[in-house]
Amino acid sequence: MKKNILLLFICFINFVSFAQNKPKWFLDPPSPGNPTYKYFVGEGTGQSEETAKDNAIKDAYGDATYMYGNIISIKPDKSNSSQYIVQTSGYNIPIKIACKQYEDISKDKIRCYILIQVPLTTLNKDWYFDECEVCNKIDHSEDWRAFGLSVFPGLGQIIVKKNKPVGYAFMIGDLALIGGGVYCLLESNNQYDISQNPNYTSNYRQDAYDNYKMLDTSSKILFGAAAAVYVINLYTAYKMPKKTNGFALTPKLIPENNDLAFGIGISYNF
């Protein structure tokens, strides 16, 4: 039974850890506010937010190629900072970015999710874009993911919020408090048994009873502190912002005397 519970817990941790944090508007796009345009979603990756965004626009527009043909180029609309001009073989199509969201997928790669508005016709000016209200809604899915992982102290801060010092502090601190509480509890029971054993002298039994009271109180304090740290761990996992800076060690191939040498590169992301 214990093995089954442990297996279920491990499966839960893995499921929450590796689930992609796709925004709700990406999974369930909103309905257009008027019949002159359609919504399309896409995702793209790149080494910068700009590259990831451009690739996401291309992916989103891919579903609209049946209307205007394949993309030749994408350029910002100088008259509107939230709009772009998509050039195809026969059209210059204005599109509007309604929503976008970025996430770090590695030290040197970013993923962008995007929601764009594409007009149903460019033959005249009877189309117009609306403001998309769903983008202004705060998405707490990543916070809840961190909260779920922090059932084991510190995992949410380490895996989701990318704050290893805080995560390891909660992990080590809570385990240390629980370990100390268990030791005091076991030792207090041992001292109590000695205090009740008539084979020992009365003074020795009295000392054992005093030790029992001290250790019993200590175990309660330690377990109480562990419970408090655990609750704070869950709270901070949900509330703390995601950390994006930190050192990274990456393997590098270094040219040396017409040969390649293997080394370690150190980088710091601000």
Number of domains in the chain: 2
Residue position matching structure tokens 């944090």? 21
Same domain, 31 and 124: yes
Boundary (domain end) residue, out of 105, 138, 171: 138
In a domain, 265, yes or no: no
Cβ atoms of residues 156 and 163 within 8 Å: no
Please indicate, yes or no, whether residues 37 and 133 belong to a single structural domain of this protein: yes
More confident residue, 57 or 81: 57
Residue ranges of the alpha helices (H) in the chain?
Answer: 2-18, 24-27, 49-61, 65-68, 141-149, 155-159, 164-195, 202-239
Pair (163, 105) in one structural domain? no
Q: What is the pLDDT of residue 234?
A: 92
Residues 153 and 129 in one domain: no
Instruction: Judge if 211 and 237 occupy the same domain.
Output: yes
- The answer on pLDDT for 259 being more than 70 is no
* Pair 142, 222: CB distance under 8 Å: no
pTM of the model: 0.49
63 lies in the same domain as 124: yes
Strand partners, 113: 43, 101
Q: Report if residue 261 sits inside a domain.
A: no
Report how far residue 52's alpha carbon sits from residue 13's, in angstroms, rounded to the nearest whole number.
29
Tens digits of residue pLDDT in 119-167: 876 555 555 666 666 665 556 777 888 888 899 999 988 988 888 899 9
Domain that holds residue 216: 147-246
Look at residues 138, 155, 183 and tell me which one is the last residue of a structural domain: 138
Q: Assess if residue 205 is contained within a domain.
A: yes
Q: Are residues 34 and 134 in the same domain?
A: yes
179 within domain boundaries: yes
pLDDT more than 70, % of the chain: 75
Within this chain, do residues 108 and 191 fall inside the same structural domain, yes or no?
no
Distance CA 3, CA 162 (A): 30
Tokens matching residue 189:
């029971």
**pLDDT above 80: residue 246:** no
Same domain, 102 and 208: no
Q: Report DSSP state, residue 115.
A: E
**Mean pLDDT to the nearest integer, 220-249:** 80
- Taking alpha carbons only, the member of 184, 173, 172 closest to residue 220 is 184
Q: What is the pLDDT of residues 36-58, one digit of tens each?
A: 888 899 999 999 988 998 899 88
Does a structural domain hold residue 226?
yes
Average pLDDT of the residues in 200-227? 93
